Amino acid sequence: MKEKVESIKNELSEDLKEVKNIQDVQNLKVKYLGKKGLVTDLTSNMKDLSIEEKKEVGRLSNELKGLVTETLTNLENKINNEELEKKLKNEKIDISLPSTKVSCGAPNILEKLIEEVEELAISMGYDVVEGPEVEKDLYNFELLNLPKGHPARDAQDTFYTDGDTLLLRSQTSPVQIRTMLENTEKTPIRIICPGKTYRRDDDDATHSHQFSQIEGLLVDKDISLANLKATFDVIAKKLFGEDRETRFRPSYYPFTEPSVEMDISCFNCGGKGCNICKGTGWITVGGAGIVHHNVLDNCGYDSEKWTGFAFGFGAERLAMLKYGITDIRTFYTNDLRVTNNFDRKDV
């Protein structure tokens, strides 16, 4: 037995000289410690031995097994470490190499502004409601107190899709009509409606045949211009800064009575007069008013009991003012340089 152990040891030390890589070590593990390995084989005829012999063979083979295992494991670790060292040396990172650019998207600046108004409105208890862009003449004009032939239709001439009943909506105001009609319970309403609108227009730096509006409608009891003014004040300050002042100027819209233009004090000159406010100190950002009694009655809200206010902003106009954009076409040309330029933390 002792000779056998010695000869295995010798064979191992010969084998070790030949080891070149980790695979060689694996092979040696199999050769010596595997199921049919040389060390394992030492105990194969244990059952035929006496108790004394069994003890001796057991002790010797265990010792050998321990020795072989330790030797091969140490060798394995050594080779692994060497390979790792080699890898680390070869894989030095060259930080002077230019990196691969990962381009990531940025929110569209117009969408960003609309979302900002939406979030503010939601915080004030408004729901965000959308309506179709292909609209009925009935909702876009007639029920808004603009019957056929009304002169105020001229300013909102649009694209008809089928003669004279279906059109591309010229304003988001028809969403007011839809909401009031759909609310069969005739309960109070507080909505904000952003969306695309269309008009026959010659496109230039400040006009586009397609643009966006943000409409607001509140219907309840005892609503006055004071409520509208307070609401506008909050929106103006949120969008253009806490020290903005607001004012109403008399105006005309068929669906509101009285109607107003909503102005904010110029954020550029603070009201002194500059080229942004055309020397007036004020900038007009939308139209508004107290909902006309005909509109309420048209939609089943008894105008003897209900009152409300409505307002409409041009979304591009708000974004142009807020971000200093001088050409409305900037929003539609999808120039990534523009989009990325506005995706900064400070805007």
**Binding flag, residue 135, ligand DAH (CB under 6 A):** no
Q: Among 24-32, 61-69, 286-294, 296-304, which window interacts with ligand DAH (CB under 6 A)?
A: 286-294
Q: Cβ distance 278 to 73 under 8 Å?
A: no
Query: Which residues, other chains included, contact 299 with Cβ-Cβ below 8 Å and sequence gap of 6+?
Result: 143, 177, 180, 181
**Binding flag, residue 299, ligand DAH (CB under 6 A):** no
Q: Which of 114, 288, 318, 321 binds ligand DAH (CB under 6 A)?
A: 288
**Binding flag, residue 310, ligand DAH (CB under 6 A):** yes
Helix (H, G, I), strand (E, B) or coil at 144: helix
Q: How far is the CB of 108 from ligand DAH (least distance, A)?
A: 22
Q: How far is the CB of 99 from ligand DAH (least distance, A)?
A: 49
Angle at 39 between CA 35 and CA 45, to 5 degrees: 80
Q: Cβ distance 266 to 283 under 8 Å?
A: yes
**Binding flag, residue 215, ligand DAH (CB under 6 A):** yes
Closest of 321, 126, 322 to residue 215, by C-alpha: 126
Hey, what amino acid is at 66?
G
**Binding flag, residue 330, ligand DAH (CB under 6 A):** no
Q: How far is the CB of 346 from ligand DAH (least distance, A)?
A: 32
**Binding flag, residue 298, ligand DAH (CB under 6 A):** no
Q: How far is the CB of 318 from ligand DAH (least distance, A)?
A: 13
Q: Among 4-12, 35-43, 234-242, 282-290, which window interacts with ligand DAH (CB under 6 A)?
A: 282-290
Q: How far is the CB of 287 from ligand DAH (least distance, A)?
A: 3
Contact residues toward ligand DAH (CB under 6 A) are 171, 173, 215, 253, 256, 287-289, 310-312
